[in-house]
């Protein structure tokens, strides 16, 4: 791993750098606390630091306190003490240091302290990954990877609030996979899931980076299109419809022709609430289906 050494004594710094190199670590060596802070707070800064107790610019305690003001990523800090005194260790712990080493460095002790640091950082990384997965589980539809119903409605609410503040338009599009029950009945639910994923991917590719698309429920999808009125919303819906219909979806060894029907609703001021806008899009969707499916209605 990359380890930062901050020590203003060239001999001590060189001995530590050599020891870490023999252990297979990449070393970033600096001679004062100010540079240590700059390196540790950089986006790709080392995640483990060995800081001398006293050095110019900022001492080890000051560097530790500064680094701890940033919530993430966590830096494992080992303070390098001239001697193991209780009051120094208490001060270091108060600054939220993780561990201590005393000069001169003992190679066996150094290896053990580093292993402790690696375990802590690995555990933190696992916790962050678990936290991110929980966030995704709470906001994403597990099948398609789109926003789930709750999250897409939150996006719509925020865009309507922005539209009211800025007097701008917002459009919603309700899309439904045509004859989806027939796909499940004739090809099975595994094929049905694949159709939903493939259809979602194609429709999503028709939208702008700042548009939102979520799975509203079953085979229904909801688009939230900021800044779109009737014309631009219809254009987006037509692009999505065409991308789905133009080529059959490859499902295992089969190729299934899939189409979608879409209904559009919009507001020029954001004064309509989300429920009314979605209801209007749903009614437009019903008209599209009644007109023969594989089409857009408003």
Torsion angle of the four alpha carbons 94, 95, 98, 101, in this order, in degrees rounded to the nearest 10: -90
Helix (H) or strand (E) holding 37: helix 33-41
Separation of CA 270 from chain center: 29
**From 219, 220, 272, 283, active-site residue:** 219
Torsion angle of the four alpha carbons 58, 60, 63, 64, in this order, in degrees rounded to the nearest 10: -160
220 is catalytic: no
User: In sequence order, which ranges of 167-273 are alpha helices (DSSP H)?
Assistant: 180-187, 189-205, 230-246
Beta-carbon contacts of 270 under 8 Å, excluding residues fewer than 6 positions away, are: 159, 160, 161, 162, 163, 164, 165, 167, 168, 169, 170
**Number of other CB atoms surrounding residue 89 within 10 Å:** 14
Distance between CA atoms of 297 and 222, rounded to whole angstroms? 14
Beta-carbon contacts of 34 under 8 Å, excluding residues fewer than 6 positions away, are: 56, 57, 58
Catalytic residues: 219
């Amino acid at each position: 791993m990359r380890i930062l050494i901050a020590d203003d004594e060239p001999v001590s710094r060189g001995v530590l750098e050599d020891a870490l190199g023999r252990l297979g670590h990449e070393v970033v060596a600096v001679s004062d606390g100010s540079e240590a802070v700059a390196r540790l707070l950089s986006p790709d800064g080392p995640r483990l630091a060995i800081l001398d107790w006293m050095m110019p610019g900022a001492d080890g305690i000051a560097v530790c306190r500064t680094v701890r003001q940033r919530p993430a990523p966590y830096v494992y800090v080992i303070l390098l003490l001239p001697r193991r005194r209780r009051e120094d260790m208490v001060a270091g712990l108060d600054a939220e240091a993780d561990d201590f080493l005393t000069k001169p460095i003992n190679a066996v002790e150094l290896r053990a302290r580093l292993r402790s640091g690696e375990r802590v950082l690995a555990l933190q990384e696992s916790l962050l990954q678990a936290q991110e997965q929980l966030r995704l589980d709470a906001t994403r539809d597990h099948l398609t990877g789109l926003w789930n119903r709750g999250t897409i409605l939150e996006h719509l609410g925020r865009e309507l609030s922005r539209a009211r503040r800025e007097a701008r338009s917002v459009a919603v599009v309700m899309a439904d996979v045509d004859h989806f029950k027939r796909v499940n009945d004739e090809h099975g639910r595994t094929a049905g899931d694949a159709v939903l994923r493939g259809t979602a991917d194609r429709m999503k590719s028709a939208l702008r980076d700042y548009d939102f698309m979520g799975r509203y429920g079953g085979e229904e999808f909801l688009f939230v299109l900021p800044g779109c009125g009737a014309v631009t919303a219809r254009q987006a819906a037509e692009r999505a419809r065409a991308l789905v219909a133009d080529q059959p979806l490859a499902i295992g060894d089969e190729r299934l022709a899939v189409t979608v029907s879409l209904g559009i609703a919009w507001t020029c001021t954001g004064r309509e609430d989300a429920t009314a806008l979605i209801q209007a899009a749903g009614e437009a969707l019903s008209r599209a289906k009644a007109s023969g499916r594989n089409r857009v209605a408003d």
